[in-house]
Chains A and B, each alone.
Chain A
């Protein structure tokens, strides 16, 4: 069996366009998911028991079912309930909502990690709720939230590969298509594995840099 990775690399510009879409959907999905997750966690903290329960249920459903089932339901089931999205918006929405469920749990743990006394102190100083979140809660929980959030963001990068199954022309779909056109199946999978591996390593390094940046004023706990 001959193995010639050049056959795949000859379609460099197509690979780059798939890669660009993967990175774009990943960054947009993570950013939106992070924002939505923060809103969900904040509503659960301040919205009272009913809101808390009402949000806990979808979060548990999203965390308890495979991402693949979620995007199939959204993409193939959506039109039957009046939600007909094209592959890219459906993929982005799916990734955002899925990520938000996990991010919201990370922020919830973050909120819980801040001692009540600090919130009370902010109260005494006349801080409003938003000021308290902005100047007390968020900075204090950053170190707790960052490692799992970085981890989740890297997981979301790998989950984007599943969007190929709802025909989003991202990296996996693009490289597989090149592989079948040129009958270079194994080569295409090698290229895919190497590109994802490199992306995940780079994302992990960036995450660690961010963790270092946010902990620069942190002194050791006694």
Chain B
């Protein structure tokens, strides 16, 4: 395969990295917000979170993206292909991350929260300053595996018109009649990105402070 083709794949993988990175970060923020709703104990909030998580984990991402792409304009919201892809990936990973965080929040020792209460922390403060950091620290490895899952899932955003690594490979495969080389090269690039994410994850995990919470 020529360098020209490979460099086109590399350029397109920039889009793959961009949408995945955005989705992971935005998805984490939404997941924390949903976890707060869940911890609030309000029945309505619990129901909303349960339906949200069940829907976005229960429907194939391909269908979610197409639905979003066709539904939002029908509701009078017009968004570009890229925005639709970002929102679709974000909502999907938010559902998974909410589930991942559940165990982390459950493992926060009640004693810590009681101490915070006595020190005069408001519920919001103890959520943001104590529960969230501990839950994040405890579930950090699942965040890294989720990042890799989303990188792979981003191969679907071309159905709403975003040209990323997989779509570029399939475009080039059509014009060059070299599908084996192009899909194999795309696969290698995904593997390389995943390796980098895994290494960053390991490095970061080694650097993160402990939580004082005994392993379960």
A34 to B55 Cα, complex, angstroms: 26
The residue in chain B whose Cβ has the minimal distance to the Cβ of A191 is B63
Q: CA of A60 to CA of B190 in the docked complex: distance in angstroms?
A: 12
Tell me the smallest distance from the CB of A193 to a CB of chain B, in Å.
5
Q: Tell me the bound Cα distance from A122 to B166 in angstroms.
A: 50
CB distance from B49 to the nearest CB of A (A): 16
CB contact list, B62-107 vs A, under 8 A: 62-64, 66-67, 70-71, 74
Q: Which B residues are in CB contact (< 8 Å) with A80? A: 178-180
Chain A's interface: helix, strand, loop or mixed, by majority? helix
The minimal Cβ–Cβ distance linking B181 to chain A, given in whole angstroms, is 8
Q: List, in ascending order, chain A residues with CB within 8 A of B178's CB.
A: 80
Segment with Cβ contacts to A, from B38-46, B149-157, B206-214: B149-157
Q: Is the CB of B183 within 8 A of A76?
A: yes
Q: Does B139 contact A (CB under 8 A)?
A: no
Residues 168 to 222 of chain A near chain B (Cβ within 8 Å): 172, 185-186, 189-190, 192-193, 196-197, 200-201
Interface centre among B55, B169, B170, B183 (most CB of A within 10 A): B183
Residue of A nearest to B187 (CB): A65
Does B63 lie within 8 Å of A189, measured CB to CB? yes
- A216 CA / B57 CA spacing, docked (Å): 28
A32 sits at the interface (CB 8 A): no
Q: Does B186 contact A (CB under 8 A)?
A: yes
In the complex, which of the residues B66, B71, B178 has the most CB atoms of chain A within 10 Å of its own CB atom?
B66
Verify A66–B153 contact, CB threshold 8 A. Answer: yes
Instruction: Contacts A66-B153, A77-B184, A193-B59 given; indicate if A72 touches B67 (C-beta within 8 A).
Output: no
| Cβ-defined contact, A186 with B63, below 8 A | no
Q: How many residues of A contact B (CB 8 A)?
A: 33
Q: Distance in Å from the Cβ of A139 to the closest Cβ of chain B?
A: 25
- Report yes or no: A68 in contact with B190, Cβ–Cβ below 8 A: no
Interface footprint category on B: 35 or more
Contact A186 B71 (CB under 8 A): yes
User: Please, how many angstroms separate the alpha-carbon atoms of A120 and B173 in the complex?
Assistant: 54
Measured between beta carbons, the chain B residues less than 8 angstroms from A192 are: 59, 63, 67
Per the bound structure, the CA–CA distance linking A157 and B54 in Å amounts to: 15
B-binding segment of A42-50, A85-93, A111-119, A158-166: A158-166
The answer, yes or no, to whether A1 is at the interface (CB within 8 Å) is yes
* B152 contacts A189, C-beta separation under 8 Å: no
- Chain A neighbourhood of B66, CB < 8 A: 189
Are A201 and B54 neighbours in the complex by a CB distance under 8 Å? yes
30 sampled A-B residue pairs with Cβ under 8 A: A1-B74, A64-B195, A65-B152, A66-B155, A68-B166, A69-B155, A69-B166, A72-B166, A72-B169, A72-B170, A72-B173, A72-B183, A77-B173, A80-B178, A80-B179, A80-B180, A158-B61, A159-B60, A161-B62, A161-B63, A162-B60, A162-B156, A172-B62, A189-B63, A189-B67, A192-B63, A196-B59, A196-B60, A197-B55, A201-B58
7 extra interchain contacts, Cβ-Cβ under 8 A, other than A69-B166, A193-B63? A65-B191, A66-B166, A68-B166, A69-B190, A77-B183, A192-B59, A193-B55
**Top 9 A-B pairs ranked by shortest CB distance?**
A161-B60, A66-B155, A77-B180, A73-B183, A200-B58, A66-B152, A76-B179, A77-B179, A65-B187
